[in-house]
Amino acid sequence: MSYEIHLSFNNNQEGFQLPVNPAEIEVLSGSNGKTYDIVGANDGRSEVRGGEINVIKSPKLREISFEGLFPAQFYPFLATDTLYEPMYYVRAIENWKSMKRPIRFIYVAHWQQRLASQGFSGQELNIPVSIEKFKWKEIAGSPGDIEFSISLKEYVFYAARRVTVNTDATGNVVAVQQSTRRPDERIRPDTYVLKDGDTLTKIAMRFYTDAAGIPDSSRYKDIQTINGLKDSDVKKLAVGSILKLPAT
């Protein structure tokens, strides 16, 4: 069965497909469940009894590990037509690890893609992860090939949730949770240098999303305001102009 593995960073601003598919991938999914001893009846002969019980809790974060090869030349067993020199992959992974931010791990089999095209849901694995361990070495006697091993751990985005205080029909005060935003993996710069073909709307859609995670073109107004631009100025922005970007 043919498949692809992709690693990317910063909402796919950087990334690559592994040039050689690993022989195997280990995915470890554990549980935080605990066992206790309780006193009970029925001499341990029924489901409701004394003795050891198991309390089911939320699952642990998944851990993914595999070994692979960054080849220095085109081999018949390559998984992609795009091949970089081996140290390109090494430098990218080490740089992402040093950034202390999650990357994205994507595994998808080609038969799953065919199912999706026919209206069936595929079983791809597409999750944010942290790089826990990364080791590499150059193979002696090879033309520069690099062997590596990598361990990843599932990453869960978290943030404080905003609530509003309302009064219900009976007069009781209740706290209502606001809808959460889709996690944004991008690193948004403080400024942006205008390029040929750019508009404030395009820039807004590139750097901002709404509550559903959809590019938010309406944020062009915030960019216009923070830069003190009049409507007439917006149409005359020159390539190379430096624009401030709102932090939130």
| SS3 labels along the chain | CCEEEEEEECCCCEEEECCCCCCCEEEECCECCEEEEECCCHHHCCCCCCEEEEECCCECCCEEEEEEEECCCCCCCCCCCCCCCHHHHHHHHHHHHHHCCCEEEEEEEHHHHHHHHCCCCCCCEEEEEEEEEEEEEECCCCCCCEEEEEEEEECCCCCCCCEEEEECCCCCEEEEECCCCCCCCCCCCCEEECCCCCCHHHHHHHHCECCCCCECHHHHHHHHHHCCCCHHHHCCCCCCCEEECCCC
pTM of the complete model: 0.59
pLDDT number for residue 184: 55
Task: Give the CATH number of domain 3-29+60-154; options: 1.10.10, 2.40.30, 3.30.70, 3.30.1460.
Answer: 2.40.30
Whole-number pLDDT of residue 78: 92
Residue 120 is predicted with a pLDDT of 47
Per-residue pLDDT, 140: 80
Amino acid letter at 76?
Answer: P
Q: What is the CA radius of gyration of the chain?
A: 25
The rounded distance, in Å, linking the Cα atoms of 75 and 144 is 13
For residue 147, what are the β-bridge partners? 69, 137
Measured distance CA(55)–CA(115) in Å, rounded? 38
The strand pair at 63-70 and 51-55 is best described as unpaired
In total, the chain counts a number of residues equal to: 248
- Evaluate whether 3-29+60-154 and 183-244 have a shared fold: no
pLDDT tens, N- to C-terminus, the chain (248 residues): 478 899 998 877 788 999 999 999 999 887 777 777 776 655 555 555 567 777 777 788 999 999 999 999 999 999 888 899 999 999 999 999 998 889 999 888 765 445 444 554 445 788 899 999 999 999 887 788 999 999 999 998 766 566 677 777 777 766 666 655 555 555 667 888 888 878 888 888 778 876 656 677 788 899 999 999 988 888 888 888 889 888 76
Domain ranges of the chain: 3-29+60-154, 183-244
Backbone angles phi, psi at 15, to 5 degrees: 160, 175
The CATH number given to 183-244 is 3.10.350
Residue 1 has what pLDDT? 47
Quick check: 154 and 63 in contact, CB under 8 A? yes
According to the model, what pLDDT value does residue 212 have?
A: 57
Beta bridge partners of 14: 9
Q: CB–CB of 64/27 below 8 Å?
A: yes
